[in-house]
Amino acid sequence: MSATNLTLDLLPDELAVCRLPVDAPVPNWVWAGELTSITSTDDELSLVCAAEAVPADIKHTAGWRALKIRGPLDFSLIGILAGISGVLAEAGVSIFAISTYDTDYILVRVAQLETAIAALNGIGHEVKRST
């Protein structure tokens, strides 16, 4: 698989990126939706989850959509994320990237989604929308 023939699936949920205090427990509402990511550092607890599940009093930024690179991607592959992020940067699209064991997810703002899809399709990637 090369960076020129990737298939990406547009996930259906609008997502939010949330910030909680480092010592906060992982809340149950984070598990709603198709994609949940939990990252804990010495500074924060960062969550990505369905935007509709986030309580109003939680510090968050909603309005994200996820493009899932079809995988699994072998760890020996080089430049997959760099290639996609470079194309999107050239198109003026900012991203929030999440990597898992099997694949990568590229989050883009809803307002930039069509620009992102056009840029990716324009270089030979295929973005599939859920039906």
Q: Per-residue pLDDT tens for 24-42?
A: 999 999 999 999 999 999 9
Per the structure, the complete domain to which residue 44 belongs is given by 7-129
Q: Is residue 1 assigned to a domain?
A: no
Q: Is residue 2 assigned to a domain?
A: no
Which CATH number fits the domain that encloses residue 33? 3.30.2130.10
Contact between residue 45 and residue 20 where contact means Cβ atoms under 8 Å apart: yes
Backbone angles phi, psi at 36, to 5 degrees: -135, 130
Q: Per-residue pLDDT tens for 72-113?
A: 777 777 778 888 999 999 999 999 999 998 889 999 999 999
Residue 2 identity: S
Alpha carbon dihedral 18, 22, 23, 28, in 10-degree steps, equals 20
Q: What's the pTM? A: 0.90
Domains identified in the chain, total number: 1
